[in-house]
């Protein structure tokens, strides 16, 4: 498997001063994907922004995993609705121009 876009979870945890259990808990809640290779856990580089957001929510704002999961779900839903509004506005503009 290509490990080019994978970051060792323990290296991430060391650089951010968090325990590896935090990463594994995020994986258990389905918030991130963890790849296991040779008895080591890896996180995908594309997920770094999200993981750092979850770190801030948990450690700075003291939000538990259930709360992080709910917030993530609501933000994804809101983003989907915003995209839908843009599509509907564009469709409406085409009808108004007729």
pTM of the model: 0.82
Considering its fold, how many domains does the chain have in total? Answer: 1
Lowest average pLDDT, out of 37-41, 72-76, 78-82, goes to 37-41
Residues of the chain with pLDDT > 90, as a percent, come to 87
Q: Is residue 12 part of a domain?
A: yes
Q: Is residue 1 part of a domain?
A: no
Domain that holds residue 38: 6-97
Q: Is residue 33 part of a domain?
A: yes
| Each residue's pLDDT tens digit, 51-76 | 999 999 999 999 999 999 999 999 99
Q: Is residue 87 part of a domain?
A: yes
State how far the alpha carbon of 3 is from the alpha carbons of 13, 33, 46, 55, 76, in Å. Answer: 18, 14, 13, 24, 28
Distance CA 76, CA 68 (A): 12
Which phi-psi region, left, alpha or beta, contains residue 32 (left: φ > 0; alpha: ψ -120 to 50)?
beta
Q: Is residue 22 part of a domain?
A: yes
- CATH code, 21: 1.10.1660.10
């Amino acid at each position: 498997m290509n490990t080019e876009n994978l970051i060792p979870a323990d290296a991430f945890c060391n650089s951010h001063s968090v325990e590896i259990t935090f990463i594994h808990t995020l994986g258990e809640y389905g918030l991130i994907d963890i790849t296991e290779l040779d008895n080591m856990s890896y996180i995908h580089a594309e997920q770094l922004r999200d993981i750092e957001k979850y770190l801030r929510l948990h450690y700075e704002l003291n939000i538990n995993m259930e709360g992080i999961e709910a917030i993530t779900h609501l933000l994804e839903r809101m983003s989907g609705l915003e995209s839908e509004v843009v599509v509907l506005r564009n469709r409406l503009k085409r009808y108004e121009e007729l």
